[in-house]
Amino acid sequence: MKISELDRKHKFFVPYFPLGYPNLETSIDVIEALAKNGADILEIGMSFSDPLADGPVIQHATQIALSNGITIEKTLQAVATLRGRGVTIPLVLMGYHNPLLAFGLKRFVERIRAIDIAGLIIPDLPLEEAEDLLAVLGDIPLILMVAPTTPKERIAELAHNAGGFIYLVSITGITGSGSSFALNLPDLIAEIRQHSDLPICIGFGIDSAQKAAQTADLADGVIVGTHVIKAIGESDNPVGVATALAREFSSALRR
């Protein structure tokens, strides 16, 4: 399913969860529960040893995933398992550039096309250096990020080249940092709207369903990573927590 096929009459709930945390089988079960209980799009983490954009909670989870032996190959196999279990919503892979280069860009894109991946987020890959990846991606969207510090000229360039949705970073910093949202978010959204009609999803710093609903009033959806990982990772019933979380956030965003 493509992101463009989603109904934009309600706000999107986009949880993030890394495959392999706390172990591979549990992570597959958790992602399935999120997908089947309210997530509109799912951002699946491909763990990397140097995740520059991630805060301590996500870094801890991805390090555990790596210690459990997660790889790009196992990640793709797990996504295929999710598709086999009836997960049909758009799945977006989030990861870093070096593992994709090591795996082989053409090979990687062939594999993600076969499992119906709806987009890629590669936070350490500047648009100017994405030519090789874009050349093989074809119609698979590269989701680009706009930050509070992004100049207007750069926003226009990113908006014109983005696909799927535009990832609007709500703070200056890393995920889960607890900083207040940038005061210029409404201005940033207005600027993006001048150049693109893609959905705008706001991420970083959203740690409750109430905050998600308030944030989504500004845009088309919210991305929730640190809060999801922390709640699930601290539970003895990760699938139950994932189910409840998805229902809570989905309900708040549809009111």
**Listed residue (112, 155, 154) closest to 133, CA to CA:** 112
HSE-CB for 158 with a 13 A CA cutoff: 24
Residue 10: both structure tokens together: 């309600």
Say which of 5, 29, 40, 54 is annotated catalytic: 54
> Which one of the listed residues 43, 110, 116, 187 is annotated catalytic?
43
Long-range contacts of 246-249 (CB under 8 A, 24+ apart): 246/13, 246/15, 246/33, 246/34, 246/35, 246/36, 246/37, 246/38, 246/39, 247/37, 247/38, 248/209, 249/13, 249/15, 249/38, 249/209, 249/212, 249/222, 249/224
Rounded CA-CA distance 82/61 in Å is 20
- Residue 117, strand partner residues: 91
For residues 200 and 166, the answer to whether their CB atoms sit within 8 Å is yes
Does 132 qualify as catalytic in the annotation? no
Instruction: Please give the backbone phi and psi of residue 10, each rounded to the nearest 5 degrees, phi first.
Output: -125, 165
Phi, psi (deg, nearest 5) at residue 252: -65, -35
Active site residue 234: no
Q: Which tokens in the block code for residue 64?
A: 């555990």
Nearest one of 205, 105, 72 to 148, comparing CA atoms: 205
Query: Could you give the CA distance from residue 245 to residue 239 in angstroms, rounded to a whole number?
Result: 10
Question: Catalytic residues, which ones?
Answer: 43, 54
